[in-house]
Amino acid sequence: MDRAEARERALDAAEELFYGRGVQSVGMDDVRGTSGVSLKRLYQLFPAKEQLVEAYLVRRDTRWRGELAAYVERRPEPDERILAVFDWLAKWFREPGFRGCAWLNAYGELGATSERVAAQVRAHKRGFRQYLEDLVAAAGRPDALAGQLFLLAEGAMVTAGVTRSAEPAAEAREAARRLLGAG
């Protein structure tokens, strides 16, 4: 197992464990057990747990936004693309093991104590919001709409996480549809 593969395995384990059980209730020893990467190697790759958390959030951010964009861009119409964001959320919420937004969970746990984690969360949310702004601009809609869609999406993620239901995605989609209709 070379360095790159060890890194991937460590991040796979970190993602599964941190997202599923929360960061603080997972020890480095759990990451070792799940990944098969020894503690020594883990600390060579990530000098401290905080940096493993950061790397987990970075990698997940890339994949999350990539999958969203891939899904959305299958729709040809600009207005359809905007609504597709909420369809994708619904699909995500229904995945087994869904436990809310990884970044908001991490922020609740570590935002007050880790500046690196807080910065990652802000970067992810900024990226998502920027993506919505791009979709809104491409549809020739007013800028202000993007912020409103963003709030609907955030509310849906948080509510789906707490209530363990996919329903908020449909509610948010309907609200978005009405905002589009009225705009």
Partner DNA sequence: ACCGTAGGAGAACGCTCGTTCTCGCGTCAA
Partner DNA sequence: TTGACGCGAGAACGAGCGTTCTCCTACGGT
Interface residue list for DNA (CB under 7 A): 1, 3, 6, 24-29, 36-41, 43-44, 47-50
CA distance 125 to 42: 28
Amino acid at 16: E
| CA atoms in the 13 A half-sphere facing the CB of 117 | 22
> Which residues sit at the interface with a copy of itself, rule CB under 8 A?
20-22, 24-25, 99-100, 104-109, 111-113, 118, 121-122, 125, 144, 147-148, 150-156, 158-159, 161-163, 168, 171-172, 174-175, 178-179, 181-183
Please give the Cα distance from 176 to 33 (Å, whole number).
Answer: 44
- Is 88 within 8 Å of 68 (Cβ atoms)? yes
Of the pair 41, 81, the CB lying nearest DNA is at 41
Smallest separation (angstroms) from DNA to the CB of 32: 7
Rounded to a whole number of angstroms, the minimum distance from the CB of residue 40 to a copy of itself is 28
Q: In angstroms, give the least distance from the CB of 98 to DNA.
A: 23
CB 67 within 8 A of CB 73: no
